[in-house]
Chain A
Amino acid sequence: MRLAFLGRRLAMLVASLLVASFVIFGALYLAPGNPIAALSGGRSLPPSSLKVLEARYHLNQPFLTQYWYWLDNALHGNLGISITLRENVTTLIASRVWTTAGLVLYASLIILVLGIGMGVLAGLRPGLLDTSVLVSSAISAAIPSFVAAIVLISLFAVKLRWFPALGNGSDFVSNLRHFTLPAVALALSSLAIVARVTRAAIREEADREHVQTAISRGIPRRQLVRRHILRNAAIPITTVSGITIASLIAVAAVVETAFSLNGLGAYLVASAQDKDLAVVQGISLVLVSAFVVINMAVDLAYAVLDPRVALGSRAA
Chain B
Amino acid sequence: MSTAIPLVTVQAPRGGRAVGLLRGTGAAGIASAAVILAATVVAVVGPALAPFSPTLPNLALAFVGPTGAHLFGFDYEGRDVLSRLLAGAQSSMLGPLAVVIGALVIGTLLAVIAAWRRGMVDAVISSSLDILFAFPGILLAVLAAAVFGAGLPAASISLAIAYMPYVARVLRGAALKERSQPYVAALEVQGASATSICLRHIVPNVMPLIVAQATILFGYAMVDLAAISFLGLGVQPPAANWGVMISENQVGIPQGYPLPALAAGACIVAIVIAFNVLGERLFEQAQGAR
Contacts and interface: CB of A to CB of B under 8 A. Distances in A.
Question: Is there a contact between chains A and B in the complex with CB atoms less than 8 Å apart?
Answer: yes
B143 A150 contact: no
B235 to A, nearest CB: 14
A143 B268 CA distance: 8
B136 interface: yes
B221 to A, nearest CB: 12
A147 to B, nearest CB: 4
How many A residues are at the interface, by size bracket? 35 or more
A254 B230 contact: yes
Contacts of A150: 246, 250, 253, 258, 261-262, 265
A273 B145 CA distance: 8
Contact of B246 (A17, A146, A249, A268): A146
Contacts of A144: 223, 226-227, 268-269, 272
Contacts of B131: 12, 15-16, 19-20
B209 to A, nearest CB: 14
A20 B227 contact: no
A251 B231 contact: no
B231 A253 contact: yes
Nearest to B272: A142
Contacts of B247: 146
Interface in B240-279: 243, 246-247, 250, 253-254, 256, 258, 261-262, 265, 268-269, 272-273, 276-277
A250 B268 contact: no
B273 to A, nearest CB: 4
Interface string B105-130: 00000000000000000000011001
A273 B126 contact: no
Nearest to A153: B253
B142 A280 contact: yes
Nearest to A31: B147
B224 to A, nearest CB: 8
A38 B253 contact: no
B134 to A, nearest CB: 4
A269 interface: yes
Nearest to A143: B269
A158 B253 contact: yes
Interface in A217-271: 246-247, 249-251, 253-254, 257-258, 268-269, 271
A30 B138 contact: no
Contacts of A165: 253-254
A28 B143 CA distance: 10
B276 A142 contact: yes
A32 B233 CA distance: 17
A20 B134 contact: yes
Counting chain A CB atoms within 10 Å of each CB, the highest count among B139, B146, B256, B276 belongs to B146
Nearest to A27: B147
Counting chain B CB atoms within 10 Å of each CB, the highest count among A142, A147, A250, A272 belongs to A147
A19 B161 CA distance: 15
Nearest to B242: A147
Contact of B148 (A24, A32, A141, A142): A32
B138 A251 contact: yes
Contacts of A250: 136-139
Nearest to A16: B134
Interface in A264-304: 268-269, 271-273, 275-277, 280, 284, 287-288, 291-292, 295
A315 B169 contact: yes
Contacts of A71: none
A93 to B, nearest CB: 15
A4 interface: no
A139 interface: yes
A16 to B, nearest CB: 4
Counting chain A CB atoms within 10 Å of each CB, the highest count among B143, B232, B247 belongs to B143
Interface in A138-188: 138-139, 141-147, 150-151, 153-154, 157-158, 165
Contacts of A145: 227
B256 A158 contact: yes
A205 B28 CA distance: 26
A49 interface: no
Given A142-B269, A276-B146, 7 more contacts: A17-B134, A142-B273, A144-B272, A145-B227, A150-B265, A258-B230, A272-B233
Q: Which 9 A-B pairs have the closest CB atoms?
A: A250-B136, A147-B265, A154-B258, A272-B146, A142-B272, A142-B273, A280-B146, A16-B134, A144-B223
8 contacts: A12-B130, A31-B147, A150-B246, A158-B253, A268-B142, A271-B146, A313-B126, A313-B130
